[in-house]
Structures are given as C-alpha cells and as structure tokens.
Structure 1
C-alpha cells in the first residue's frame, strides 16, 4: 500500500506539534540562563512539586517532546508497518491507515501540549511565580490519552 496524502487536520496537527516542540525547546533554552539552582522534577497528586533537581533538567522534558514528535511522525510514514487483519480489503487497510495516522498526530498533540505546559510551569515554579501545576492537570492528561486510545481501539474494529 502506498502512503495516502495527509488530510488538512493532519497537516494542522503536524504544524501544531512542530510549533509545540520548537517552542518548548526554545523556551527551555532561554529560561535555562535565567534559572537559579533547582527546578521541580516531580509532582505529587495535588500538583505540587515534591522533588527538585539541577536546572539542566529543564532541557529534558522538551527533549522527550522532540522524541515523541519524531517517533510518531516517523511511524506515520510507514503504512506497511501496521498489522492488519488477514481478511481486510485494500480499501479497508487504507482507511485504517489514514485513521491511525490521524490518531497518532492527536496523541502526539496531547502529549506534546502537556510536556510544553510542564516546561513552562517548571520555569514558573523555579522563579517563584507559581506554586504548582494544578490539582487536576495530571488527571486530565491521563484521561485524555486513555479516551483517545479507547476511541482508536473502538473505531479500528469497524474497518473491514
């Protein structure tokens, strides 16, 4: 199967993901020089920092965002890498691939947005401009990823 063209939504998500990764990297690099010694490296269930580390850790989270972006973008270029049911038609395979590629961009968007938010909040907390990331931030992130994965699984069962 050839790689079908990307939809407008996929292009928008790809652009948003690119901007998010570049923004997180630039923000972290610029902020690095204005940070004092420590930044938050872990948060408790209330969204308050409970561990701190060297300011160099501020570059780690944007690097994870870059890795996620490259991984999901790379995977979306290989339609033959997906495992299809044996009795699926070529048309069904193409529909499933288009949907899966879109959902990878959606998942990447959710993850990169969360990591960008964490990068900004880590800097804000280190500069005493904020106390934490918010009580429900982690829960909302986990819920959004789980809901997206469930939607992918349910929808993929419909392709024939």
Structure 2
C-alpha cells in the first residue's frame, strides 16, 4: 500500500451490540457516580485507595481520592468515544483497501466500543466496592478481581485481532 493512499471515510450505523454495550457501560458508570453521591456523607474520612493483586486493601486514603475514579472514568469515556467515532484513524494492516475498509472499520470500532464499556463497568465496580468496604458493607474484592479484569479486557482484544485476521 502506498503511503499517499488515503483511508476512505465511511459512515457505518451503530450496531445493536454497540448500543447494548453503551447502555450497559453508561448505566453502570452513571449508577456508580450516583451511588457515590448518595453515600458521600456516610463515607468515613479514610477509604480504600489501592488494592494488591490479591484484592486486599493495601493503602487507605482520603475519601476525596474516590472522586478520582469518576474523573478518570469520564476521561476514558470521552477519549474512547472520540476514538470509536473515527475508525478511519485506527491502525490497520497493509491489506486494508476500499473494498474491505467497511469490515475493518466496523470490527475495530466494535472492539473500541467493548473496551470503553468494559472499562466503565470496571470503574463502576471499583467505586461501589471501595465505598462498600469503607462503609463495612462487604469484605471487598476477592482474589478473582485481577484475573477477571485481565480476561475481561484481554479476551475482546484477542477475539478482535482474530476477526480482523479473517478479513480478506
């Protein structure tokens, strides 16, 4: 492929799966922010601020540190939403051409959509768990949190790569 070739700009409607992921991701994230606002005055001055690989709290911090989670979540949401909106700027193999561009764009956009929403769900879960631990409502993360997080983000990437490899 010549370096002067411009990647086509193609408008592709959002799929039902993308809308479903968005509803789940946004609802989880917004629900966790609302939850944090509701329990804010009940939170003690110190809340879990960091977890080790076993899912145990290994640092406590000011409850104001919990505000970082929704801010980082919002930053990720906006950034990944922009990246999702412009699939023509994603990185593709040299075999991309005008006849297969739509398939590549859709595949790449769906992957970004899934990862964006999985991140929002993870942030929502961390907010809920951190507040729950601080309020003595639960024991916190289990040893399974890190492996499930790695699988939850890694599997869609591997599946996305495998799907793109099948595009002719």
TM-score (norm: length of structure 1): 0.91
> What SS does the corresponding residue of 2:99 show, helix, strand or coil?
helix
| Pairing partner for 2:27 from 11, 14, 19 | 19
| Pairing partner for 2:51 from 43, 46, 49 | 43
Compute the displacement of 1:134 (Å): 1.1
Give yes or no for contact 2:46–2:62 (8 Å, CA) kept in 1: yes
Task: Tell me the number of residue pairs that the alignment of Structure 1 and Structure 2 aligns.
Answer: 160
Structure 1 portions without partners, runs of 5+:
none
Compute the displacement of 1:71 (Å): 1.5
After TM superposition, which residue ranges in structure 1, 4 or more long, deviate above 4 angstroms? none
Deviations 1:6-40 (A, max 9, x none): 11111111122221221122122222221111110
Cα root mean square deviation, aligned: 1.5
Distance between the aligned counterparts of 1:93 and 1:85, measured in 2? 11
TM-score (norm: length of structure 2): 0.87
> What SS does the corresponding residue of 1:42 show, helix, strand or coil?
strand
Structure 2 portions without partners, runs of 5+:
1-8
Compute the displacement of 1:153 (Å): 1.7
For the pair 1:139 / 2:147, whether they are aligned, the reply is: yes
Give the stretch that moved more between structures: 35-44 or 25-34.
25-34
